[in-house]
A and B are shown apart, each in its own frame.
Chain A
Amino acid sequence: DAGVTQTPRHEVAEKGQTIILKCEPVSGHNDLFWYRQTKIQGLELLSYFRSKSLMEDGGAFKDRFKAEMLNSSFSTLKIQPTEPKDSAVYLCASSLEGGGGYEQYFGPGTRLTVL
């Protein structure tokens, strides 16, 4: 069974650009998460979908970050416009279901550098 896939693995953007990160969850998983990971803040939740419905959009990240789940097997995270402080690793994770103690499976991440 394929794990979570993310593309691209690395992205370099100029300040003010729009970038789109992609994620394919594990087949059959109902929950999908987008996280930002930095050394200072650790894992920060950006968005959470259950069965394609947005359950949480990570409050502080609303204005420039938009995650979508067009179908059960594909999600995107758009950052518009990018700022240097957005430089981080963006992780996508999926789980069978949020409740019931199911683990999250993480993708390899996209390392974003904003110049």
Chain B
Amino acid sequence: GDSVTQTEGLVTLTEGLPVMLNCTYQTIYSNPFLFWYVQHLNESPRLLLKSFTDNKRTEHQGFHATLHKSSSSFHLQKSSAQLSDSALYYCALNAYKVIFGKGTHLHVLP
């Protein structure tokens, strides 16, 4: 069946360093949508960005991700982490139904 894998449960880094959160997926559907949701403390998840197009970079609020169908990946990146980026990040796949990964906690230190 379909699945989403986020390999890191927790990523800790210092403010100003680059961020990369990994997301890989499995599906037999050839045209899936991939999403990143962000959840700050005491809030609910909300959409950060999404993509459908192979090899096209998608950007929002300083974050970016590129869907690579050849490697079934949709990694989230940011060039310089800010303290306010500390949150829980979910990668999600929408093929014939929506599947969320386990989530990655990003902890940005001053």
Query: What separation, in Å, do the CA atoms of A56 and B2 have in the docked complex?
Result: 15
CA distance A81 to B79 in the complex (A): 49
Q: CB distance A99 to B96 under 8 Å? A: yes
Does any Cβ of A come within 8 Å of B46's Cβ?
yes
Indicate which residue in A41, A98, A106, A109 contacts B94 across the interface (CB closer than 8 Å): A98
Q: Is A20 an interface residue (CB 8 A)?
A: no
A112 at the interface (CB under 8 A from B): no
Residues of A within 8 A of B96 (CB): 99
Chain B, interface SS category: strand
Chain A residues with a Cβ closer than 8 Å to the other chain, count = 21
Are B45 and A33 within 8 A (Cβ)? no
Kindly state the separation between the CA atoms of A2 and B97 in the bound complex, as whole angstroms.
25
CB of B80, distance to nearest CB on chain A (Å): 26
B residues near A103, Cβ cutoff 8 Å: 35, 47, 50
Which residues of the other chain, A, contact B63 by a CB distance below 8 angstroms? none
List 26 A-B residue pairs with CB atoms under 8 Å apart, sorted by A's residue number: A42-B90, A42-B100, A42-B101, A42-B102, A42-B103, A43-B45, A43-B90, A43-B103, A48-B97, A55-B97, A56-B97, A91-B44, A91-B45, A98-B97, A98-B98, A99-B96, A101-B50, A103-B35, A104-B45, A104-B98, A105-B46, A106-B45, A106-B46, A107-B44, A108-B44, A109-B44
Q: Which residues of B contact A (CB under 8 A)?
A: 33, 35, 37, 44-47, 50, 52, 90, 94, 96-98, 100-103
